[in-house]
Structure 1
């Protein structure tokens, strides 16, 4: 299957604004690409038959894939579960409605793992179909990586935006918690569930964020000498593949060559403790959020999901409150950490996409940042010996999304140079 030619959102928008491509033509490009490629990739759970194409709006002509965990009034919404086969919501999720108001065309619903948890779906990695695309935003990442669409929406509760972006060799952006609305999302763990975005490059994903939200997020020039970058030295690093460790140190060298102030920083103990608390916090909330599904549709749920919901329901409120306390301490430590550095460099995943579709990979490098609510971006550009993508994750202080995207774009340029 090899490297697929991806669609650049920036190039499409420039062509549209210059009068060289009208929205109908842009949407037809994606429709044709989906018709040609998706039988092999299996990125879409549903493709819109007659999608509405807006003539105006900042996202007019942009074919947007929406993870099938968000409600859409005009397309079935199955949440990756047989329990919701053919389910048709009455209204759009807030982010879907926002995208439509900005002129985007909801081209289809992208495949999600069951309830955006761990049970894998049928989507394959466009770089090598024998490997996972990652999860839970499997279809969103694979559809962009395969060049079917220029942009997609996903979610992250553990590592479900950053990891699939890394495995598929594209940019994934998990914004600061609540920067993007989550109303109309099938929640798993509401205090963690974060809406995120996918596009071919960091420049593209930053542009997407700006056009979607109306916030100033498009990658602006940055003075590297004024930005303190540090490799985040957490205990997890020892467990990363040699190829990943090498990519990370190469990334740090390239950042230094590009003029950034680069060093190392140790993981504060409170943040390590918060990472360890993520699972219990997530499961207790899933026990509540997905309890109704367990009560009504147990026979349609995977054993893996049933076990997680039951574990969550067995966690006492006092134990949950203790995890919340650890998370809060971690956030305080994170604020202190970002007093010393502006940007952290860390792996997006332990290595390249694992072989086989039985697992969507490991979120050990992502879940802390989801819990901290801090913005994170996967920067593509590195590969392992077999040609599979390796992702570098950059993280900034809560609310510093604009700086993060600007720095990530500058680093992406440096990695490609």
Structure 2
């Protein structure tokens, strides 16, 4: 895989130019994407590399974000040929930092559950996950060093886990969602993909202007082993991976504490779908009314569910969500991060499902920063993702702990 940090170091040392780095990514896309299907459209090949701290970094952008120079379809035939006049805020930030938006990556329909055509670079018989399937696959296949995705349920962490790359879902609203097609305004979150944790931290730092570098920790972190109340939904391979990682972390000096899931967080996970579908029914109301025939069955069913939800049920869901956020904050009084599965198992075989977000949706609801750490595999050699969850607003510590764990593994 391509490394953001290595590319920037090579450019600074004069070993390559920004233009050469971008050309390398374009050549790799041309050579590999025919088999993977991560990209929908590429930017003009004659575009001049940007000027800024991310100059030379080719970035794939999920086709849920507006781009002025490429079509934005939101994964739906409803928007075939749609050309926004301006960039989404995160795309504008990329360009301002000097990154080259090299192309639009495949998303599922409106970033929901209907599978798209991208395959998993680790094994093409398996799903790459969703909804940020193209972004995760583009990084995993070594075509680009970084990509932008989004998460409303598990759409950054899960595909990162399935494809064996770093996925970083920041604290809610750390990055703007302006110009991103809304599905659930209280949970939609911009996320990043990169080869390693240090690469994701570098991109996040240079984009946001905040110190989000995954610097080495001075001492081993305090880790809460969070099996959750749905532990039985993790496969034996995933359960073994979590236990193995916890033991490796303990052997390396980490203080491991078993954390029992509070009832408030279990309730939060349970109401995620109520809140999501109610908001989606409003956000996609016109698409549903005027273009229902162009929507997938799974999306129509979710929107119908949202329409049938009484406002009082939604308001109660929001109250439960607030209680869950408070309970989530309290978990970190004596620990630095939580350790939990990124997904129930490795990527399922076939392209008829994008997998389950059951181990992600709670943290999207609460807004906590999450990082997928690669490094474990199942008996068939497919990646098993380990999820690090941090305290809200403590993204740097979450990234640092994830890097420490990545290097420990």
TM-score by length of 1: 0.97
Name the CA distance, whole Å, in 1 between partners of 2:307 and 2:334. Answer: 40
Name the CA distance, whole Å, in 1 between partners of 2:116 and 2:50. Answer: 35
Q: Secondary structure at the match of 2:264?
A: helix
Q: Which of 252, 257, 267 is residue 258 of structure 1 equivalent to?
A: 252
Provide the residue aligned with 2:299 in structure 1.
Answer: 305
Provide the residue aligned with 1:95 in structure 2.
Answer: 90
Asked if the contact 1:159–1:370 (Cα under 8 Å) also holds between the matched residues in 2, the reply is: yes
Asked if the contact 1:51–1:106 (Cα under 8 Å) also holds between the matched residues in 2, the reply is: no
- 1:158-197 mapped onto 2 (5 Å cutoff): 158-197=153-192
Provide the residue aligned with 2:269 in structure 1.
Answer: 275
> 2:63 aligned with 1:63, yes or no?
no
The alignment's C-alpha RMSD in Å is 0.9
- Residues 55 and 319 (structure 1), Cα distance of their counterparts in 2 relative to 1, 3 Å cut: closer
Shift of 1:135: 0.3
> 2:103 aligned with 1:108, yes or no?
yes
Name the CA distance, whole Å, in 1 between partners of 2:314 and 2:334. Answer: 31
**Post-superposition CA distance 1:78-131 (Å, at most 9, x none):** 000011111100100000000000001010000000000000000000011110
Provide the residue aligned with 1:358 in structure 2.
Answer: 352
Provide the residue aligned with 1:18 in structure 2.
Answer: 13
Asked if the contact 1:229–1:345 (Cα under 8 Å) also holds between the matched residues in 2, the reply is: yes
Runs of 4+ in 1 over 6 A off after TM superposition: none
Name the CA distance, whole Å, in 2 between partners of 1:239 and 1:285. Answer: 27
Name the CA distance, whole Å, in 1 between partners of 2:356 and 2:334. Answer: 29
Q: Secondary structure at the match of 1:392?
A: strand
Q: Which of 78, 81, 91 is residue 83 of structure 1 equivalent to?
A: 78
Asked if the contact 1:51–1:105 (Cα under 8 Å) also holds between the matched residues in 2, the reply is: no
Consecutive unaligned residues of structure 1, counting only runs of 5 or more, are 1-5
- 1:118-267 mapped onto 2 (5 Å cutoff): 118-225=113-220, 227-267=221-261
Shift of 1:55: 4.9
Shift of 1:207: 1.0
TM-score by length of 2: 0.99
Q: Secondary structure at the match of 1:278?
A: helix
Name the CA distance, whole Å, in 1 between partners of 2:342 and 2:196. Answer: 15
Q: Which of 370, 376, 380 is residue 376 of structure 1 equivalent to?
A: 370
Q: Secondary structure at the match of 1:172?
A: strand
Provide the residue aligned with 1:40 in structure 2.
Answer: 35
Provide the residue aligned with 1:7 in structure 2.
Answer: 2
Shift of 1:9: 1.0
Provide the residue aligned with 1:72 in structure 2.
Answer: 67
- Residues 65 and 55 (structure 1), Cα distance of their counterparts in 2 relative to 1, 3 Å cut: closer
Name the CA distance, whole Å, in 2 between partners of 1:231 and 1:176. Answer: 20
**Post-superposition CA distance 1:6-44 (Å, at most 9, x none):** 111111011011111111100010000000011100001
> 2:353 aligned with 1:389, yes or no?
no
**Post-superposition CA distance 1:208-242 (Å, at most 9, x none):** 111221211111121334x3201102121111111
Provide the residue aligned with 2:45 in structure 1.
Answer: 50
Shift of 1:52: 2.8
- Greater alpha carbon shift after TM alignment, 155-164 vs 230-239: 230-239
